[in-house]
Structure 1
Amino acid sequence: MTGKPLQTRWTGSAMALAIAVSITGVVTVALHARVSAEQSTALRAPMPVVQTEFVEQPDFQREQKFLGLVQAASRSQVGFEVPGAIAEVLVREGQAVEAGTALAKLDTQSLEARRRAAASTVDQARAELELASARTVRQAPLVESGAISAQLFDDTRLAEKAVESALSAAQARLDSLEIDLEKSVLRAPYAARIGRQLLDRGAVTQPGAPVFTLTSLENREAHIGVAVEQAQYLTVGESYPLRWRKRSLRAPLIAVRSDVNPVSMTTVAIFSLPEDVDAFDGEPVSVSVPRTEPETGGWLPLSALIEGERGIWTVLALRGREGNTLALREVVEVLHVSGNRAYVRGSIRDGDRLIADGVHRIAPGTAVAPLTSSQQSQNAVSQKES
């Protein structure tokens, strides 16, 4: 009788333990289910996204850049107009000179000797002319009185004319030699910078042989090759944006040449550079020319584009109402890129809302929560501060 009650007690304890274990298991499963549900709910929460509106327009402006070179308004090779040996070079390469500055001199010993001889001839002719004039003056009354014949007086008078002509010829030769002496000094025809020195001291030069190359200091110009189809839209007198040494400036268009380069199929547009542009002759310079493209589309930030296979571009459009908005893929064609934005067209329409940033972390069909304008501004400020 003592064993049965003991067995009964053990059986009751086992049942109580089993019930407790069952309750514990149920509670654990319920807790895990609740946590899983909460995690699932958290995963399904819409992702906040920055949105932008697609605004369609009939055309867009694009900037075309053309390259060219800075050129001096005047370029020349200067040399002596008379032959001779160069006796002295007065300037150096790279030196800036004013108009009329002496650049070089010739050896003038021979010219000086010839000038002295010509001067002597002039003096002799003047003396002979004076004598002939005095003879004519003395014989004039004698002809009237019949003391000498008219024939003799005509010889005297015409001899005076011949001496006068000889004096004029001698004076012309003297003047020519003095001009040659003046031209034996090579002078700058305008304010310029010395380029190359082609002949040195001691060289014998011929008339017209270049001694220096010069480039003018003032009125720098930009000569830029422009496509023929674009040149017709340029307006003489209007200012255009130029780029020189990483500096942006505006310069008026002064002319467009009428000839076309048969290789590059470009013509030359000439711009007058501002006076404060101290550019070297031959420096590179570029111009940006606006051009209107009649293509329907709209501008989007580059961060809104997703590059797919085979060069296909897509965007994520926001479809649905507030509280139930999905990100759906739309195909677009990129027509032009300028800075951090692109001009596109495709299956999107005017007024469509698109995801502007972070598109690579959002799968198509994902529920999203578009941020309002104020929220986007606050987000931008916080990102800037961080």
Structure 2
Amino acid sequence: MSNIQPRVKALSMSIKSSLALLASLSLSACLFGCQPEVIAVTIKPAVPVTSEVLTQVSGYEQQQQYTGTVRAANTTDIGFEQPGKIELLSVDSGDSVKRHQVLARLDTRVLQAMERELQAALAQNQIDIDLAKRTVSRSNQLKNSQYIAEQQFDELQSRVDKLLANQRQQTANLQRIQLQLEKSVLTAPFDGVVAQKFANLGEVVNQGNAIFTLIGQNQPTAYIGVPSQVSSKLSVGQTLPLTVGEQHFAGVLAGISGELNPISRTVELRITLPQDATVYNGELAYLTSASWTATPGFWVPIGALTDGIRGRWNILALVQPTPAATETELEQTQPQPQLQPNVATTPTNHWLIERRDVHILYSHNDKAYITGAITAGEQIVTAGQHKLVSGQAVTPSRIKG
């Protein structure tokens, strides 16, 4: 009995020590669980962008360019007025010629033979006329002496008339042959340059076949089609700016066509260039016309525009973010660990991207004139829009305005 009591006392002391340790551990766990949870905060870096400040203007000047061609005042396909075999070609493509200069000639041996034949016939005819006239003169004396009948005298006079008529006919035939000989020689109708040659030496050509294309060197002219509403504001004699290649000229409006082209629906203008203009036939000529449209709007770089939905155009505007909400204390009577998502914050000195719908009224070179959901003084992104989305934080790296 005396041995049992000490064992019971030792066991009781061991249990009390264990309970005290357990209570201490439970209190420590409770105090640790009541501490507030640390929330992970991630700040997304703001993207630097190039921006521009919008400046509103009252309207825009619209530059329209119309295209035409330069043609010499005289551009002609020339050829012989009669068929024949080409005997001479004295010029070729690219040669400069003067008025009345011989360009080509046909073989005229047949015509020359016909000319000689007619000349001989006329000589014979003149002999017959002279004889008939002398006969009539003698017969007239005999008639007065009544040694010849009236009928015989009339027949002699009629023979003279027939010979004279035949002479006129032969003379006309000779003139025709001489004219054919003259037209067997092709000459330049004006000063110019041979643009093309269509025939070769020894070739037989038909009447009217083109042998050369001749381009005059005086008064080059531009022919340009413009809309009727543009031509109605112009007047003959007005000076217009023209561009041919790299050259700029002050052309004079020489004429306005009275009809509308059924294909291009334009009115043709005839504009003369300076006499000393160095241009080529067929070169493109450009006429620049300016008109003012009084519609308030903004000029922006073409690169500032981006595609929108339903065929619309958008720009990306920069807006300042609203003030951040006041932080609230986290209070939990019975703290329970929970997984919280990362919270993105935007510093107040940064800007946010906002997409705006705009309308393009006119574009010229690298600029566009727009209207829409924008106001003067706002900033817009001018480059790198494909990397940005609405609501994204950005920092303007350069402001132009």
TM beyond 0.5: yes
Structure 1 327/272 Cα, relative in aligned 2: closer, same or farther at 3 Å? farther
Q: Which residue matches 2:240?
A: 240
Q: Give a deviation string over 1:297-343, Cα, whole Å, max 9, x none.
A: 1564749x9546733236779xxxxxxxx999996654333456554
Contact residue 122 and residue 171 of structure 1 kept, 8 A: yes
Aligned counterparts, 1:37-48, within 5 A: none
Structure 2 distance, partners of 1:147, 1:262, is 85
Provide the aligned C-alpha RMSD in A. 3.7
Match of 1:312 in 2: 314
Deviates more, 1:97-106 or 1:129-138: 129-138
Contact 2:299–2:367 (CA under 8 A) maintained in structure 1? yes
User: What's the offset of the Cα at 1:353?
Assistant: 5.4
* CA deviation profile, 1:206-260 (whole Å, cap 9, x unmatched): 2212211222222211122323454433433322211111222221222333444
How far off its partner does 1:104 sit? 0.5
- The 5 Å alignment of 1:132-151 reads 132-151=132-151
Distance 1:314 1:337, change over 3 A: farther
For the 8 Å contact 1:313–1:334, the answer to whether it is kept is no
Aligned-pair CA distance for 1:100:
1.2
Task: Indicate the structure with greater helix content.
Answer: 1
Give structure 1 stretches of 5+ with no counterpart.
1-48, 318-325, 377-386
Gap change, CA 1:121 and 1:281, over 3 Å in 2: same
- Per the normalisation by structure 1, the TM-score is 0.68
Q: Given that residues 69 and 284 in structure 1 are in contact (C-alpha distance below 8 angstroms), is that contact kept between their aligned partners in structure 2?
A: yes
Distance 1:152 1:62, change over 3 A: same
**For residue 193 of structure 1, what is the amino acid of its counterpart?**
V
Letter in 2 for 1:112: Q
1:28-58 Cα offsets, whole Å, 9 max, x none, are xxxxxxxxxxxxxxxxxxxxx9988644x2x
Structure 2 gaps, min length 5: 1-50, 320-349, 385-391
| Correspondence list, 1:317-356, <5 A | 333-338=359-364, 342-346=368-372
* Distance (Å, rounded) in 1 between the aligned partners of 2:317 and 2:381: 10
Query: Does 2:137 match 1:111?
Result: no
CA distance in 1, matches of 2:97, 2:280: 16
- Residue of structure 2 in register with 1:164 after alignment: 164
Q: How far apart are residue 185 of structure 1 and its match?
A: 0.5
Residue in 1 aligned with 2:176? Answer: 176
Task: State how far apart, in whole Å, the 1-side matches of 2:71 and 2:126 are.
Answer: 55
Residue 129 of structure 2: aligned partner:
129
Contact 1:297-1:343 within 8 A present in 2 as well: no
**After superposition, what is the alpha-carbon deviation per residue over 1:177-223, rounded to whole angstroms, capped at 9, x for unaligned?**
11111111011122222122111111112221221122222221112
Q: How far 1:98 moved relative to its partner?
A: 1.6
Change (3 A) 1:163 1:307: closer
Paired amino acid for 1:116: R
Deviation of 1:147 (Å): 2.4
2:92 is paired with a residue whose SS is: coil
Work out which structure has the larger RCO, using CA pairs closer than 8 Å and 6 or more positions apart in sequence. 2
* Deviation for aligned residue 1:113: 0.9
SS in 2 for 1:82: coil
Q: Which amino acid aligns with 1:99?
A: R
Aligned 8 A contact 2:86 2:200 in 1: yes
| 1:255 match | 255
Task: Verify: 1:270 aligned to 2:270, yes or no.
Answer: yes
Range that drifts further, 241-250 or 265-274: 265-274
- Deviation, 1:266, is 3.2
Q: Which residues of 2 match residues 1-386 of structure 1 at below 5 A?
A: 54-55=56-57, 57=58, 59-294=59-294, 296-298=295-297, 300=299, 302=301, 306-307=304-305, 310=308, 311-313=313-315, 333-338=359-364, 342-346=368-372
Distance 1:99 1:192 in 2: 8
Q: TM-score, normalised by structure 2?
A: 0.66
Q: Is the 8 A contact 1:132 1:156 kept in 2?
A: yes
Separation in 2, partners of 1:337, 1:273: 30
Kept in 2, the 8 Å contact 1:327–1:365? The answer is: yes
CA deviation vs aligned residue, 1:144-189 (integer Å, no higher than 9, x gap): 2222222222111111111111111111111111111111101112
For residue 186 of structure 2, what is the amino acid of its counterpart? L
Which deviates the most, 339-348 or 172-181? 339-348
Q: CA deviation at 1:92?
A: 0.9
In 1, Cα distance between the equivalents of 2:127 and 2:379?
107
Residues 317, 381 of structure 2: 8 Å contact kept: no
Structure-2 change in CA distance of 1:314 and 1:357 (3 Å): closer
For 2:61 and 2:232, locate their aligned partners in 1 and report how far apart those are by CA, in whole Å.
17
1:354: how far off? 6.8
SS of the residue 1:177 aligns to: helix
SS for the counterpart of 2:253 is strand
TM-fit CA distance, 1:284: 1.3
CA shift for structure 1 position 74: 2.4
Q: Which amino acid aligns with 1:297?
A: P
Cα distance in structure 2, aligned partners of 1:308 and 1:172:
84
Number of residue equivalences: 311
SS at match of 1:240: strand
Flag the 1:306–1:108 CA change in 2: closer, same or farther, 3 A.
Answer: closer
